[in-house]
Amino acid sequence: MKQLTQELKSGKMEIMEVPFPALNKGSVMVRNHYSVISAGTEGKTVTDARKGYLAKAQSRQKEVKQVIDMVKTNGLMPTYKLVMNKLEAPSALGYSTAGEVIAVADDVTEFKVGDRVACGGVSASHADVVCVPKNLCVKVPENVDLKHAAFTTIASIAVQGIRQADLRMGENCLIIGMGLIGQMTSKILSASGIRPIGVDVSDAQVEQSKAVGIQDVYNRNTPGIEDLIMKFSNGSGVDSVIITAGTSSLDPVELAGAVARKKAKVVIVGAVPTGFNRANYYKKELDLRMSMSYGPGRQDPTYEDKGIDYPIGYVRWTENRNMQSYLELIAAGKLDISGLISHTFKLEEAPEAYNMILSRSEAFNGVVIQYEEGVPSSRLELASKSFPASEPNVGMIGAGNFAQGTLLPNMKDHCNFVGVATGRGNMSKYVGEKYKFNYCAESASEVFEDKNVNTIVITTRHDSHAEYVIKGIEAGKHVFVEKPLAMNEEELESIREAYNSTAKENPVQVMVGFNRRFAPPVQEVKKLFVDEQPKSIMMRINAGVVPPDHWVNDPKVGGGRIIGEGCHFIDLAMYLAGNKITAVSASAMQDANGLNNTVVVNLEFANGSVASVSYFSNGSKSVAKEYIEVFCGQTVAIIDDFRSLTISGGKNAVKKFKQDKGHAEELKQFFGAIKAGRPQPISFEDCYVSSLATLKVLESIRENRKILL
């Protein structure tokens, strides 16, 4: 299939051949007929991408701050590689489409194959085929043209602005900014029995608005414009003002304050500053409101990703119901947007459309992309190389930031890349070409079924790890899975059962990415002591803050930070102790969101060792992330963030290291073991015990007691 993408580094725009996106739970797969270019939002994205590095930094100051913080935590070179990877990777454009359903996830009952639908959100991109969460998808009435339905998401932005204005039939409203959303707002207001008046600083926009049948629209700089607006509102001032303009000027907010009646509502839909003069807003007690995109539910993972709707009795108008209301107006014949469509381009011509928008070489309004009929190919062949069966021939499931920034660069010299399956087609193509995979798969199933693949590498979100590990084992393939191995004990036991059942007939290697075992300073400490010696171990992890709504903190998707990351240090403690964990006890600091992200874990081991793992998420980034002390035989070994090792007692020494958390060595040994037919450097039993102990941490916190393994 084809998709429009843009490289953030150079601004290069390209129509790429990519595989289908993954059909995720709660999602609908749609073959697009039309999509609409948002000249404002997408135009800014494209403009920023075409700027030089300095200009990019100036326009994205929030991202620059994040990069600076990352340098402090991870170092310059790892951060540089991550940033460059993001800039080089092709990103999708678009968020408002319409087409026909070609597949639905097993848990979706609201849609069926063949339904005509309109789609919204970042996954509703300019592509032949898109996969959209069900709450960002609405059915299109039979009498509504799909070309008009493609405007549904953009129209819902206008609808939500009107909702925030809280207007009644017979009232009036000033619209500041008469671009596409401003014109949509005017037409929807008129269809709803409300009198709109519009202003814009551009004569071209004013004339264009008049050309599509909008009557009361004027240039903002017309002499006496405030008097015109007051006359329109019978001398009282307008009942509401909706600002759809995008500008760095304070004029829209100031004009709104000047012409609004007392107690009026001023709604900001566009990107404008709000540092206004206090006088009008104070004297009139104006109500300044923000309107967020398509409506309630926007950017709420529970609503959008999980498909859990807000009860209509408590939230009358969600983003989905806003989308429906626009289509109902068209179906009823109350709203005609045909005049708003100024250009239609084929997908192959899309770069020309963006050039026209950015250069303003001709007047434009609604710009539509049209797609060819028929369902395109779902799989993308890149090469046809064959590899010896004795070598590790990899099928990659998931290829996000961590895989691209850390794993793949360290894998490429130790294995052969066969197939890759990841959620987004454009990212699959980028990874597939960069690392010379044979093909990009439509789904993970293709990779598991490929007889040329003998090793599976899993880097998906945590909730799918157990399922994919079991599939890999049952397919007779070696498995490397990023932590965690499982989200709960039921999953963990299922993995163990699958592994044990194949151990004799078709032995496979299964290893979790507990990379810190392989870090150079850890290896130095391991050589100091023998496993039989009891040790006292202390670890302090300055983990940093992760927003409560991040997927890692979702109990069903990420499992929380102890399962998602704390397992690293539980495994490392077991490795340094030199024997199995026998008991776990833990206490968590209470926080407002009920997250167990600041935890003290105490571990006991079969050889008499003890360990304390302090995993803290409430610290400063200016303090190093990981600090480890091992006490044994009157010797103390201190690892400071994997940059230094200090040994006191016996052989006093201080060694400096380039920070290395063991990823490269871990992968080298994993693939080397497959080639040589020897056991993995981390046994399955160790992976199992570390994972079980991690799960017991949460049980200990819940039950407030020590748990014996």
pLDDT for 273 equals 92
Q: Minimal CA–CA distance to 644: which of 520, 517, 526, 518? A: 520
For residue 363, is pLDDT > 80? yes
Q: Distance between CA 622 and CA 624 in Å, rounded?
A: 7
In a domain, 302, yes or no: no
Residues 528, 507 within the same domain = no
Residue 443 binned pLDDT confidence (cut-offs 50, 70, 90)? confident
Q: Distance between CA 696 and CA 599 in Å, rounded?
A: 13
pLDDT for 55 equals 64
Q: Minimal CA–CA distance to 278: which of 250, 316, 320, 306? A: 250
Q: Answer with the one of 347, 370, 393 that is the final residue of a domain.
A: 370
Residues 364, 418 within the same domain = no
pLDDT for 352 equals 92
- Cβ-based burial of 563 (10 A; exposed 0-12, middle 13-18, buried ≥19): buried
SS3 category, 470: helix
Residues 58, 109 within the same domain = yes
For residue 67, is pLDDT > 90? no
Number of domains forming the structure of the chain: 4
Residues 471, 487 within the same domain = yes
Q: Minimal CA–CA distance to 471: which of 504, 510, 432? A: 510
Residues 530, 507 within the same domain = no
Q: Minimal CA–CA distance to 170: which of 137, 194, 189, 152? A: 194
Residue 275 binned pLDDT confidence (cut-offs 50, 70, 90)? confident
SS3 category, 46: helix
In a domain, 522, yes or no: yes
For residue 60, is pLDDT > 70? no
Residues of the domain holding 552: 515-708
For residue 154, is pLDDT > 70? yes
Residues 614, 704 within the same domain = yes
Question: Which tens digit of pLDDT belongs to each residue from 302-339?
Answer: 999 999 999 999 999 999 999 999 999 999 999 999 99
Q: What is the pTM of this model?
A: 0.85
Residues 654, 535 within the same domain = yes
